[in-house]
Amino acid sequence: MNDEESRLPPGQYVPRGRPVIHYGRVPAFKPESWDFQVFGATASGRTHRFTWPEFANLPRTEVLADFHCVTKFSIMGNEWRGVSPRTVMAAAPPADGVRHVMIWAEYGYSANIRVADLTARDTLFAMELDDKPLTAERGYPLRAVVPHLYAWKSVKWVRAIEYLLEDRRGFWEERGYHNVADPWREQRYSYQEEPGEGPP
């Protein structure tokens, strides 16, 4: 077994090239009106808003990771650079008891993850891929990267996170996909959910 094969979760394959996939249109980036909001159950009770220059000036880190689409292709060895969600959370911390977050994109696309997934070492708000700014169709100017979960949770064109006191399903989670979405456990569909893995 070569190294890439050993890194593939069950049922996944490495396609030719690097597919681009999303629902709907590619949004335009307007730096003057772009903002990144942290809202919902914040510790302060207020919404925190970063302008584009504020967000772009946060310290950046790098993550090398594979990513796995639930339609079964995997894109291996991506070098992402961007802002750690921990940096964002330190600037705008959640209230006590927050265990889940909704990640929001342009046009209302969303995905829910656990706070533990947001603070995981490999999770990033990425601005660069392989030493270049993200292309428009890969999420420019900013996308979430949650490589240890199926890639629909890696929200492109991200604009906000919402701290949740109760878990709530995002766009694909409402449409039959698994609430947790661990590719190593092949958590593809919501009918596979065990008690406690999804909102009641």
Ligand X SMILES: Nc1nc2c(c(=O)[nH]1)N[C@H]1C(S)=C(S)[C@@H](COP(=O)(O)O)O[C@H]1N2
- Does residue 127 touch ligand X according to CB under 6 A? no
Q: Which of 138, 148, 178, 188 binds ligand X (CB under 6 A)?
A: 138
- Does residue 104 touch ligand X according to CB under 6 A? no
Residues that bind Mo ion (CB under 5 A): 69, 151-152
Q: Is 65 helix (H, G, I), strand (E, B) or coil?
A: strand
Q: Is 25 helix (H, G, I), strand (E, B) or coil?
A: coil
Count Cβ atoms within 10 A of the Cβ of residue 48 and give its class: 0-12 exposed, 13-18 middle, 19 or more buried. Answer: middle
Alpha-carbon span 124 to 151, nearest angstrom: 13
Q: Which of 101, 102, 105, 145 binds ligand X (CB under 6 A)?
A: 105
Residue 20 contacts which entry, ligand X, Mo ion, none (Cβ below 5-8 A, type-dependent):
ligand X
Of 55 and 109, the one with the shorter C-beta distance to ligand X is 109
Of 84 and 179, the one with the shorter C-beta distance to Mo ion is 179
Nearest CA among 44, 45, 65 for reference residue 145: 65
- Does residue 140 touch ligand X according to CB under 6 A? no
**Hey, how many other C-beta atoms are within 10 angstroms of the C-beta on 159?**
18
Give me the residues that bind ligand X (CB under 6 A), please. 19-23, 69, 105, 109, 138, 151-152, 154-157
